[in-house]
Amino acid sequence: MMVLTKKMIEIRSILQRVGQSSTLTLPSIVVIGSQSSGKSSVLEAIVGHEFLPKGTNMVTRRPIELTLVNTPSSKEEYGEFPDLGLRRISDFSSIQRTLTELNMAVPDSECVSDDPIHLTVYSPNVPDLSLIDLPGYIQVVGQNQPLQLKQKITELCDKYIQAPNVILAISAADVDLANSTALRASRRVDPRGERTIGVITKMDLIDPIRGASILNDQQYPLRLGYVGVVSRAPQSQGLFKKGPTNLLSAIAKQENAFFSSHPLEYGNEAGVNVGTTTLRKKLMHVLEQTMSSSLQSTSDAIRQELEEATYEFKVQYNDRPLSAESYLAESLDAFKHSFKQFAEEFGRPQMQELLKHELDQKVLDLLAARYWNKPIGDLVAAKPGLDNLADLPKAEPDSLYWHRQLDASTSALTKLGVGRLATTAVSSSIQGHIDSLVSNSTFASHPFAREAIMEAASTILNERFYSTSDQVENCIKPYKFDIDIEEREWSQGREHVGGVLKKELQDCETALKNLESNVGGRRKLKEVMTFVDKARKGDIVVEGDGRSGAGGFSAALLGKGREAVFLRDRADIIKMRLLAVKSKQCTTSKNKYYCPEVFLDAAATKLASTAVLFLNVELLSEFYYNFPRELDLRLGRHLSEEEIEKFAKEDPKIRRHLEVIRRKELLELVLGKMESLRQLEGLERDRQAAG
C-alpha cells in the first residue's frame, strides 16, 4: 500500500511535461477555506515548515500546486520550482519569499490568476501527497480590493473542486459551521459529502463538548469525516527555533497536550478524529483510494490523448522519427558533405583565376595611369606624320622614356601589396562560398547555427591571415627586382590581355550607351560632347568652371558630357591598343616596351601563380583541414542537450514535429506505468480477497 500515490505523483510530473490538460485528471487534494480560517497553518503543519506567504492583504493570488515527495533514505529537506528552474532550495524562508513574489506579480486589476505555481517539497518527514492551495474565500471585499475579487476567487475555487479531486474544507471551530464558506462550496459540487474531508481548526478556542459534537458531524455529515486540529505554530517556536522537525514535533506536542487534557471528549473512546498526525494519515489514505479508483478513467483519458498524438504524427509527419540530436547530426553531416564538394571544386586553378582577375584590374589601372592618360590627339600631335598606331607606347623601343615607363609600371604592380590583396581575395571568396553553402542547407533557418558556422570560418581565416599574406609577399619578392618572361608566357599573356582589353572596351561602350539613354538620346549627348571638346581645345571660353552650366547646358548635363568624352577617348585608345597587341610587333617579348599590356599581363600571371602556391599551403589546405573540426567543436558534441533542443526548435516545422513525438513518447511512458500500476492493484486485490 501507499506506493500508488508516489507512483501517481511521478506520473503527474511526467504529464506536466506533456503540457496537456491531462494533469487535472489525476486527483489532488484541493484545500479551500475562508481567510483566517487557519488554512495556511494546516498546510504548514502538514509540511512541517513555515513556507506560505503571510500578510494582512490577500496574499494567495495564484493556485499553488504543492507536491510532497517522501524521501525516506535522505535527511535533506528542500523545495523546487520546476517551472522556474529553481532547484534544491533548502531554506524555506526563501521558498516563502519566492511564493510571495510570484503572488504579488499578479496585477491588482486581475485580482487572481488561474495559472498555477508548481512547488515540490522533498523530505523524509512529508507524506507523498499532492495538494493544491487556493486563495482563501473572502466575506467582505476590503477597502483597497477590487469589487469582483470575491466572485473571481469563487470561480477559481470552483474550477479546482471538481471530481475526482478530494476537497479539504477548512473551517475554524469558533465560527458556526453553518457559516463555513468552505463547506458550502463543497456541498455545491459534492452534495452527498463523498469526497470532502472536513478540517476544524482552532479547536483550542472552543469548549470541548461543543468541539466533540462538531467532529461527530451530526449537522453536516461527511463520509470521510472531520478532523479537529490545533495547528497554529506554537509561540515558543519563536524566531529562533524554526527547525523543520521542530514545527512538526512542536505541533504534535501542543495538540497532544491539549487533546489529552480532555480525554472524555477527545480520547480514543470518544470516536472522534483529532490531531495533525491523524489528518496526515487520513489524507494519504484518502488520496491513495482516490488515485486507485481513478486509475481506470485516468488511463482512458491518457490513452485518448495518445491516440490523438499518434494520429497527428501519422497524418502530419508520416510517422517519420526525429530527435533534436539526430536532426542536428544529419544537418551537420549534410553540410559537411556539401563543404567537401566545394573543397573538391575550389583549388589552385580557381584561386589562380580569382587572383588573376584581381590583378587584371590593377594592370588596367596602371596602364590607364601611365599610358592611356592623354587624349589621342595629343599623342598624335607629339609625333606628327606618324600613324596613330605607331604613336602610342612606343614607336622608338629604345627610348629611355618608354623603358622607364615600363619599369615604373612593373614596380608598381609588384609592390602593390600582392600578399594582402591575394589573401583577402581568397579569404573573402571562401567566406562567400561558405555563406552560400549555409543558405542552401538546413542551417539556413537557424540563425544560431549560421552564426556559429560563419564564425568558425572567419576564426580560421583570420588566424591565418597575417602569416599567409606575409609568406605570399615574401615569395613574390624576387619579382620586385626582375621579371623574366619566357616566350610561351608572353604569347599566353598576349592572348589573355586581348580578352581583357575587349572586355574593357565593351564596358566603356555599354557605359556610353547608358549615358546616351540617360541624357535623352544619342543626338543630345553628341551635342554636349562637341561642346566639351571645343571647350577643352580652347575653341570656346567657358566662364568660371562651368559649375552652373554653360553653352545652354545644365551643369549636370555637362558632367555627363565630360564623362562621355572620357569614355569615348578611353574606348578609342583601347581599340588602338587592341590593334597594337594583335600586331606583329607584339608577337615577341623583345618588343616589350612597345607592348606594355602584354608584359604586365604576363607579369601578373606570374605573380598570381606564385601567390597561389603559397595560398594553397598556408590558407586553403589549413582551412579545409580545420573547418570540419571547428564545426564539430561548435555544433557537435560540445553542445548541451538544451542547446541542441533550442537549435532544433528554431525551425518552427521541426519544433512542431519534435513536440508531437515528445508528447507521444511521454504519453506512452505514462500509459505503460499506469498499466503496470493497474496490474499491481489487481494483484493486491486478489491477495486481499484470498487472505
Closest distance to ligand GDP from the beta carbon of 317 (Å): 49
The single residue among 22, 25, 28, 35 that binds ligand GDP, judged by CB under 6 A, is: 35
Min dist. Cβ of residue 233 to ligand GDP (A): 7
d(CA 220, CA 207): 19
Does 230 interact with ligand GDP (rule: CB under 6 A)? yes
C-alpha cell at 49: 515548515
95 vs 434, which CB is nearer to ligand GDP? 95
User: What is the separation of C-alpha 284 from the centre of its chain, rounded to a whole number of angstroms?
Assistant: 43
Q: Largest Cα–Cα distance in the chain?
A: 144
Is 33 or 498 the residue whose CB approaches ligand GDP more closely? 33
| Residue 9, CA atoms < 13 Å, CB-side half-sphere | 26
Task: CB nearer to ligand GDP: give 72 or 238.
Answer: 238
Among 13, 14, 24, 36, binds ligand GDP (CB under 6 A): 36
Q: Which of residues 407-466 bind ligand GDP (CB under 6 A)?
A: none
CA dist list (Å): 225 to 37, 270, 448, 583: 18, 14, 60, 118
Q: From the list 71, 97, 204, 308, which residue makes contact with ligand GDP (rule: CB under 6 A)?
A: 204
Smaller CB separation from ligand GDP, 33 or 193: 33
Among 201, 441, 471, 589, binds ligand GDP (CB under 6 A): 201
Q: Give the residue from 40, 52, 68, 132 showing the smallest Cα distance to 280.
A: 68
232 binds ligand GDP (CB under 6 A): yes
- Give me the sign of the Cα torsion angle 632, 637, 640, 644: positive
- Side by side, the strands of the sheet bearing 196-201 are 86-89, 78-81, 117-123, 64-70, 129-133, 29-33, 166-172, 196-201, 226-228, 273-274
237 lines the binding site for ligand GDP (CB under 6 A): no
Q: What is the per-residue DSSP string for 440-467?
A: TSGGGG-HHHHHHHHHHHHHHHHHHHHH
CB of 659 to ligand GDP, least distance (A): 39
190: CB partners within 8 A, 6+ apart: 161, 163, 167, 196
- Which of 205, 381, 444, 617: binder of ligand GDP (CB under 6 A)? 205
Judged by beta carbon, residue 106 or residue 163, the one nearer ligand GDP is 106
Which residues, including other chains, have CB under 8 Å from residue 260's CB and lie 6 or more apart? 266, 267
Cell numbers at residue 202, please? 482552532
**Positions in 337-356 near ligand GDP (CB under 6 A):** none
Determine the interface stretch with ligand GDP among 15-23, 39-47, 497-505, 619-627 (rule: CB under 6 A): 39-47
| DSSP single-letter state for residue 162 | -
Q: In this complex, which beta carbon is closest to ligand GDP, that of residue 209 or of residue 683?
A: 209
Q: How far is the CB of 215 from ligand GDP (least distance, A)?
A: 14
Are the beta carbons of 48 and 125 closer than 8 angstroms? yes
Site pattern 361..390 for ligand GDP (x: CB under 6 A) = ------------------------------
Q: Determine, following the binding rule CB under 6 A, whether residue 231 of this chain makes contact with ligand GDP.
A: yes
The CB-of-76 to ligand GDP minimum distance in angstroms stands at 26
Stretch that binds ligand GDP, among 38-46, 117-125, 206-214, 454-462 (CB under 6 A): 38-46
Task: Quote the CA–CA distance of 653 and 662 in Å, as a whole number.
Answer: 14
- Footprint (CB under 6 A) of ligand GDP, residues 111-170: 136
**From 2-10, 32-40, 108-116, 642-650, span contacting ligand GDP (CB under 6 A):** 32-40
- Beta strands of 248-332 (E only): which ranges? 273-274
Residue 257 in the binding site for ligand GDP (CB under 6 A): no
**Beta strands, E only, 511-590:** none
Residues of this chain that interact with ligand GDP (CB under 6 A) are: 33, 35-41, 136, 201-202, 204-205, 230-232
